[in-house]
Copies of this chain bind each other. A is one copy, B any other.
């Protein structure tokens, strides 16, 4: 049986991919399992990616399913160093869905696309009977161009690389969780849903040797870091005290027993770069609204390959595993 945990972005998602999808579909491009596939078409490097969005509720402080569908795919393209150019848009709606809500969602898709200079060039709409889909699901696929000289990916990661986080963790997850449970949303707390492309563009125009990037969505930082060390000859060590978390998010995590390392974000990235450029990267990020809380949170180590370890705030050291189980379904 497929369970919600299979959609968590964590261990069971990985298992689903490795045990059911890859044995049938595997090829050298798909097997890289990056944020985007990198295609060589007529000697041009093209990035290609897809995401379906099933977020509930559809509208939330900081975003909505329309904005999320555009930024999610833009972010996946940006993480491989691509300039996002074109999106497809596929809507699956429930019979009886409100035209007014649809208009609002489409407006949000449109303005987010315009802000990011990407165009929706092809689409599809389906309508299914009542209760056969929850209101509306949206898929986008995206195409971008990667400059020939750009080479960003896990294969570039080296021993002692610094690990840089672009900002505080968990705002997206906690905002949705508070809304769903009809709890009071602390003033100022909202989803971090954003296109990371402007931040990445600023970075890549100034720093030539970014080794790898990934946006931290489902599964959270803990899972993303584990994806980097899986089957790798290196490990990762991070420091809990360096990881920025907003006080409201921390408070909700304490009350509800969530671990911020596994909370989903929709406007945060983790980046690997050589030690000599790490401070410059953090300084560039901090001047940008999307990176104002950026920090070096750890480094790549040879001492425990395949393992993510964390120095805790109270001085201990623990292993950070991939997310097991689902903390909060349908956050994207």
A88 at interface, CB cutoff 8 A: yes
Q: Are B2 and A93 in contact (CB under 8 A)?
A: yes
A105-132 residues with Cβ-Cβ distance < 8 A to B are 106-107, 109-110, 113, 119-129, 131-132
Name A139's contact: one of B6, B50, B109 (CB within 8 Å): B50
CB neighbours (8 Å) of A52 from chain B are 90-92, 124, 126, 139
Is A320 on the interface with B (CB-CB < 8 A)?
no
The verdict on A102 contacting chain B, using a C-beta distance below 8 Å, is yes
A interface residues, Cβ below 8 angstroms from B: 1-7, 13, 16-17, 20-21, 24-25, 27, 29-30, 36-37, 39, 41-44, 46, 48-52, 54, 85-86, 88-99, 102-103, 106-107, 109-110, 113, 119-129, 131-134, 137, 139, 141, 143, 145, 329-330
* CB-defined contacts of A44 to chain B, threshold 8 Å: 41-42, 44
CB distance from A230 to the nearest CB of B (A): 17
**A17 contacts across to B, CB distance below 8 A:** 125
22 contacts between A and B (CB under 8 A): A1-B96, A2-B93, A2-B94, A2-B127, A7-B93, A16-B125, A20-B102, A21-B125, A24-B106, A24-B107, A29-B86, A29-B122, A30-B119, A39-B85, A52-B124, A52-B126, A54-B92, A54-B128, A128-B134, A132-B134, A141-B141, A143-B143
